[in-house]
Chain A
Amino acid sequence: MSNVSTDKTETAAAGMLARMVDSDIFHSFLKSKVTVIAAIGTAVLFLLAFFAPLIAPHDPFDLATISILDARVPPMWMEYADPRFVLGTDDQGRDLLSGIFYGMRISLIVGFCSVIAAAILGITLGLVAGYMGGRVDAVIMRIADIQLTFPAILIALLIDGAARGIFGALDREVFSFYILIFSLALSFWVQYARTVRGSTMVEKNKEYVQAARVIGIPAIIIMVRHILPNVTGPVLVIATINLALAIVTEATLSFLGVGMPPTQPSLGTLIAIGNDFLYSGEWWIAIFPGLALALLVLNVNLLGDWLRDALNPKLR
Chain B
Amino acid sequence: MSVLRIHDLKVEFPGRKSTFVAVHGVTLEVEAGKILGVVGESGAGKSTVGNAVIGLLQEPGRIGEGEVFLHGQRIDNLPDKQKRLLRGRRIGMIFQDPLTSLDPLQTIESQLTETIRIHLKLSASEASARAIELLDAVGIPDPDIRIKQYPHQFSGGMRQRVVIALALCAEPEVVIADEPTTALDVSIQAQILELMKKLCADRNVSMVVITHDMGVIADITDHVAVMYRGKLVEYGETDQVLGRPQHPYTQSLISAVPRPDIRVERFPMVDYIEEAGTPTKHIDIATHWLGKARAYDKPEGALVKIRDLSMRFVTRASIVPSKRRFLDAVKNVSFDIHEGETFGLVGESGSGKSTIARLITGLFHPTGGSIDFAGTELTSLTDRRQVLAMRRQMQMIFQDPYSSLNARMRVRSIIAEPIKFHRLAASNTEVRQIVDDLLDHVGLGIAAGDKFPHEFSGGQRQRISIARALATRPRFLICDEPTSALDVSIQAQILNLLKDLQEELGLTMLFISHDLAVIRQMCNRIGVMRHGELCEVADCDALFDNPQHPYTKQLLELMPSMELLSRANLQESGPTGAPPAP
Contact = CB atoms under 8 A, between A and B. Distances in A.
17 contacts: A27-B16, A206-B400, A206-B403, A206-B404, A207-B403, A207-B404, A208-B406, A210-B363, A210-B398, A210-B404, A211-B396, A213-B361, A214-B362, A215-B395, A215-B418, A229-B406, A229-B408
Contact of A230 (B396, B406, B421): B406
Query: Do most interface residues of chain B lie in helix, strand or loop, or is the interface mixed?
Result: loop
B422 A226 contact: no
Interface of B: 16, 358, 361-363, 387-388, 391-392, 394-396, 398-400, 403-409, 417-418, 421-422, 465, 468, 472
B421 A216 contact: yes
A230 B454 CA distance: 13
A27 B417 CA distance: 34
B408 A230 contact: yes
Interface of A is mostly: helix
Nearest to B398: A207
Interface in A174-230: 206-208, 210-217, 226, 229-230
Interface string A146-170: 0000000000000000000000000
B465 A211 contact: yes
A226 B399 CA distance: 19
Nearest to A213: B363
A217 B417 contact: yes
A174 B361 CA distance: 56
Contacts of A208: 403-406
Given A215-B395, A215-B417, 7 more contacts: A207-B398, A210-B404, A213-B361, A214-B395, A229-B406, A230-B407, A230-B408
Nearest to A210: B363
Given A27-B16, A206-B404, A211-B465, A216 B417 contact: no
B335 to A, nearest CB: 21
Given A27-B16, A207-B399, A207-B400, A212 B405 contact: no
A216 B406 contact: no
A275 B317 CA distance: 56
Contacts of B361: 213-214
Nearest to B358: A210
A217 B408 CA distance: 17
A206 B453 CA distance: 15
A206 B407 CA distance: 11
B417 A212 contact: yes
Interface in A213-250: 213-217, 226, 229-230
B422 A216 contact: yes
Contacts of B391: 214-216
B408 A211 contact: no
A217 B391 CA distance: 10
B538 to A, nearest CB: 29
Contacts of B465: 211
A153 B408 CA distance: 37
B16 to A, nearest CB: 7
Contacts of B418: 215
A212 B421 CA distance: 10
Which 10 residue pairs across A and B have the least CB separation, nearest first? A207-B404, A207-B398, A216-B391, A229-B408, A206-B403, A215-B418, A208-B406, A216-B388, A214-B361, A214-B396
Given A216-B421, A230-B406, A211 B16 contact: no
Contacts of A210: 358, 363, 396, 398, 404
Contacts of B403: 206-208
A215 B396 CA distance: 9
A214 B363 contact: yes
A215 B421 contact: yes
Contacts of B400: 206-207
A210 B362 CA distance: 10
A86 to B, nearest CB: 45
Nearest to B465: A211
Contacts of A214: 361-363, 391, 394-396
A217 B421 contact: yes
Contacts of B387: 216
A207 B396 CA distance: 10
Contacts of B399: 207
Contacts of A207: 398-400, 403-404
Nearest to A27: B16
Contacts of B409: 226, 229
A216 B363 contact: no
Chain B CB within 10 A, most for which of A211, A216, A230:
A211
Contacts of B394: 214
Contacts of A206: 400, 403-404
Nearest to B396: A214
Contacts of B405: 208
Nearest to B395: A214
Nearest to B453: A208
Contacts of B404: 206-208, 210-211
Contacts of B16: 27
Contacts of A212: 406, 417
B323 to A, nearest CB: 18
Nearest to A222: B406
A216 B422 CA distance: 9
Nearest to A31: B16
A108 B417 CA distance: 41
Nearest to B413: A225
Contacts of B472: 215
A92 to B, nearest CB: 53
A207 B421 CA distance: 19
Contacts of A230: 406-408
Contacts of A217: 417, 421
B386 to A, nearest CB: 11
Nearest to A12: B450
B512 to A, nearest CB: 13
Nearest to A24: B16
A215 B404 CA distance: 13
A226 B414 CA distance: 10
Contacts of A216: 387-388, 391-392, 421-422
Contact of B406 (A27, A213, A226): A226
Nearest to B387: A216
Nearest to B16: A27
A148 to B, nearest CB: 23
A4 to B, nearest CB: 16
Contacts of B363: 210, 213-214
Contacts of A213: 361-363
Contacts of A226: 406, 409
B475 to A, nearest CB: 14
Nearest to B401: A207
A253 B399 CA distance: 53
Nearest to A218: B384
Contacts of A215: 391, 395, 417-418, 421-422, 472
A210 B357 CA distance: 12
B202 to A, nearest CB: 41
A225 to B, nearest CB: 8
A215 B390 CA distance: 10
A94 B339 CA distance: 86
B339 to A, nearest CB: 20
